[in-house]
Amino acid sequence: MVKYCDIFWSFFKVGTFTVGGGYAMLPLMQRELVDKHRWLTEEEFLDQVALSQALPGVFAVNMAALTGQRLRGAVGSAVAIVGNVLMPILFILLLAMFFRSFRDNVYVDRIFMGLRPAVVALVAAPVFTLFKNEKLKVKSETDSVSHFSLFISHFSLYFIPLLSALLIWLLGVSPILVVLAAALVGLIYGKIKN
Amino acid sequence: MIFLQLFYTFLLIGACTFGGGYSMIALIQNEVVTHHGWMTATEFTDLLAVSQMTPGPVGINTATYAGYTAVVNTYGADHLFDFSLFTFHFSIPVQWAAVLGSFIASLAVIIIPVALVFLVGRWLLRHRDNPVVATVMRLLRLAVIGLIAAAALQLIPGLLTTTPTGNVSLFTFHFSLFNLLIFLAVLLLACRKKTSPILLIAASGLVGLIVYSI
């Protein structure tokens, strides 16, 4: 039986010592869960990664919830999640509390003016990298599918991102609605196709 | 009541985030900045920088920071937060209420995803190759690309039109041009070279410090 404190400590390390979000945590998670503690096999780990990506929400938290559940059920899951987010939340709270008092400092302001365009660029970057991934996936399904469904795949590759961006950007539609509509359309089209 | 609004808003955001932190950033921007007006666009970009440079999942960091700032901005940093419990009335500094707001936001954001881990986790793992599931996932991924694009498009005008605050001796035009230059450079490096975001943010902060100090 895996001890709660081991689960906590593993995810505490993963959450506290990685900067840059969920995917940056993967190498450390793999080292902790697969190599060091042998709680998961390589394959189980990759399955969990795929599942965490498929489910909505924060990737790292989903990974923690899945691993904790596998090891010690619901309590294990809670322990893993708390371990993962405890230090990040405390750190952000400290920053949020004191940010206002040093945000007006002239040097801090200059730094933030410089990094603002970089932050916007970092938001824009996944648009291109994610699109490239999808394009590769569509290209790889060329054989064994009918001309019609191939056409639909290519058409939706451009049409759906464009439509969803325009709906949100120009018409002010809530992204939440766009996501729900996409899931619904996918469900209906998937049922019809099969 | 701000706490209920925060809880409900971040519950929806968590449930609709597919494909990583950046789609959550797009949702948070729309709900927190555009819809509720809990923070300004400038505060939001500050938040993005902070949440990517501090440890932890970007989604949790963003939610925590947004929950805190929403409460402080709604009630004012120097005011007291009044509430009553049964027949007792309390006045606490807004910052304390904001800490509660940040806990509520980061808790709300994980509730539905974690519930789904328990409810459909095993089922989804077994039916990964089911064509209907695959179609839904594909459409979600495509829609999310548009969602993130919309978020970026909403942030770009701010870079070109806002004039720098403080004692800066640059014309607006040069300021816009400089912003555009950093934007394109970072975009290229992030897409092509897969340079780490932290490095890019730190480097452009340093560039800002130097350029605006000249």
Interface probe with B: pick from A55, A58, A79, most Cβ of B within 10 Å: A58
Q: Would you call A110 and B213 a contact, using CB atoms and an 8 Å cutoff? A: yes
Confidence of residue B132 (pLDDT cuts 50, 70, 90): confident
A19 and A94: one domain?
A: yes
Query: What helix, strand, coil percent values describe chain A, rounded to 5?
Result: 85, 0, 15
Position A9 scores a pLDDT of: 95
**Which residue of B13, B25, B198 is in closest CB contact with A123?**
B25
- Nearest chain B alpha carbon to A149: B135
Average pLDDT over every residue of A130-138: 87
Confidence of residue B162 (pLDDT cuts 50, 70, 90): low
Average pLDDT over every residue of B14-40: 88
A70 and A15: one domain?
A: yes
The DSSP annotation for A30-55 comes to: HIIIIIIS--S-HHHHHHHHHHHHHS
Average pLDDT over every residue of A152-162: 88
Confidence of residue B155 (pLDDT cuts 50, 70, 90): confident
Q: Would you call A178 and B146 a contact, using CB atoms and an 8 Å cutoff? A: yes
Residues of chain A contacting residue B57, judged by C-beta atoms under 8 Å apart:
15, 21-22, 25, 58-61, 84-85, 88
Residues of chain A contacting residue B198, judged by C-beta atoms under 8 Å apart:
19-20
Structural tokens at position B6: 């925060």
Q: Would you call A65 and B102 a contact, using CB atoms and an 8 Å cutoff? A: no
Residues of chain B contacting residue A46, judged by C-beta atoms under 8 Å apart:
none
Q: Report yes or no on A174 lying in a domain.
A: yes
Confidence of residue B168 (pLDDT cuts 50, 70, 90): very low
Q: Report yes or no on A39 lying in a domain.
A: yes
Position A37 scores a pLDDT of: 93
Position A142 scores a pLDDT of: 64
B199 and B104: one domain?
A: no
B91 and B76: one domain?
A: yes
Position A141 scores a pLDDT of: 73
Least confident of A81-85, A130-134, B148-152, B192-196: B192-196
> Positive or negative, the Cα torsion across A131, A53, B137, B125?
positive
Q: Report yes or no on A117 lying in a domain.
A: no
A23 and A69: one domain?
A: yes
Q: Would you call B209 and A161 a contact, using CB atoms and an 8 Å cutoff? A: no
Q: Is A119 on the interface with B (CB under 8 A)?
A: yes
A145 and A90: one domain?
A: no
User: A169 is in which domain, residue-wise?
Assistant: 141-193
Least confident of A99-103, A153-157, B38-42: A99-103
Q: Is A136 on the interface with B (CB under 8 A)?
A: no
Position B166 scores a pLDDT of: 46
Least confident of B12-16, B30-34, B124-128: B124-128
Highest average pLDDT, of A62-71, B51-60, B188-197, comes from: A62-71
Q: Report yes or no on A155 lying in a domain.
A: yes
Cross-strand bridge partners of residue B84: B89
Position B163 scores a pLDDT of: 55
Cβ pairs bridging A and B (under 8 Å): 392
Average pLDDT over every residue of B122-132: 81
Position B167 scores a pLDDT of: 43
B150 and B170: one domain?
A: no
B87–chain A nearest CA distance, Å: 30
Average pLDDT over every residue of B104-112: 95
Does residue A115 have a pLDDT over 70?
yes
A76 and A28: one domain?
A: yes
Confidence of residue A62 (pLDDT cuts 50, 70, 90): very high
Q: Is A5 on the interface with B (CB under 8 A)?
A: no
B119 and B209: one domain?
A: no
A89 and A162: one domain?
A: no
Burial classification of residue B150, based on how many CB atoms lie within 10 Å of its CB (0-12 exposed, 13-18 middle, 19 or more buried): buried
Q: What is the widest separation between alpha-carbon atoms in chain B?
A: 62
B104 and B144: one domain?
A: yes
Confidence of residue A145 (pLDDT cuts 50, 70, 90): low
Q: What's the complex ipTM?
A: 0.85
Provide the number of structural domains found in chain A. 2
User: B136 is in which domain, residue-wise?
Assistant: 2-162
Structural tokens at position A42: 């390589």
Alpha-carbon span A22 to A61, nearest angstrom: 8
pLDDT (tens digit per residue) in A22-54: 777 888 889 999 999 999 998 889 888 888 888
Provide the number of structural domains found in chain B. 2
How many degrees, rounded to 5, is the angle at CA B38 between CA B49 and CA B86?
125
Alpha-carbon separation of residue A164 from A100, B106, B156, B187 (angstroms)? 35, 26, 18, 22
The alpha-carbon radius of gyration of chain B (Å, integer) is 20
